[in-house]
Amino acid sequence: MKAHEIMRRDLSSVEVDTPIAEVIYLMEQSGLASLPVVDEEGVLVGIISERDLIRAALPGYLEMLHSASFLPSLNQLSQRLKEMASEPVSKYMHSDVISVRPEDEDLQIADTLIRNELKQLPVVDEEGHLVGVIRRIDLLYRLV
C-alpha cells in the first residue's frame, strides 16, 4: 500500500507568520495535536505541536512532569503562553520535518513513524506541497 492510499487528505495547516494564539485556537477547534506549517506557496516548512508549545513556554517542564508526583501551579505556564500569543509560529516550530512522498510504501512509512516516535507524518508532493497526513492510527487501521 502506498502513502496516497493511506493518507488523510486533510490540509489543515498554519502559515509561518500565524500567531501562536491562532495556532492554539485552531488546534482546539480541530482537535489536532499538531499542525503542519506551510509557506505562502503551500510548501511544508515545519511542524508545531502541543508539546512544542509547552516546551517553549516552560523549558524543562515536560521532563519535570515525568518525575514529579503532583502538578505545580500552572500560573507560570499561563503567563508565558500569553506572552507568546502574538509571536509567529515560525519561532517555535520544528523546521527539520520528516515527511514522506505519496508513492512511498507502507513499510517505509511504518519504519519512519516507529523509528522517530512520531504520531503523524506529513505527505508532500515532489515540489514540497503538503498533500495529506498519515497518522499512526491510519496505518494501524489499514493493517488490521
Partner 1 sequence: MILTVTLNPTLDKFYWVDHLPLSLERVEEEILIRAKKSATSAGGKGINVSVFLACMGVDTVAMGFLAGHTGQIILRDVLARGATANFVWIEGENRTNVTIIERGKEYHPVKIHEQGPSIPPQAVDMFLRKYRRMLRRAEYVVLGGALPPGIPADFYRELVRLANEAGVRAVVHAGLTALREAILAKPYFIKPDVREEAEVGGLPARTEEEIIQAGKHAVQQGVEICLISHHVTGDILVTPQGVWDLEARVPLSKYKNLVGADDALVAGVLYRLVEGDSVLDAVRFGMAAAIASAEIEPKLCLVKSFIEREMHEVEVHRKEGG
CA dist 90 and 54 (Å) reads: 15
Report how many residues bind partner 1 under the rule CB under 8 A. Answer: 18
Using CB under 8 A, which of 16, 26, 97, 118 touches partner 1?
26
**Using CB under 8 A as the criterion, what x/- string covers residues 100-139 for binding partner 1?**
-----------------------------x-xx-------
Closest to partner 1 by CB, 34 vs 58, is: 34
Q: What are phi and psi of 70, to 5 degrees?
A: -145, 160
Closest to partner 1 by CB, 50 vs 77, is: 50
Q: What are phi and psi of 15, to 5 degrees?
A: -95, 165
Query: Taking the CB of residue 88, how many other CB atoms lie within 10 A of it?
Result: 18
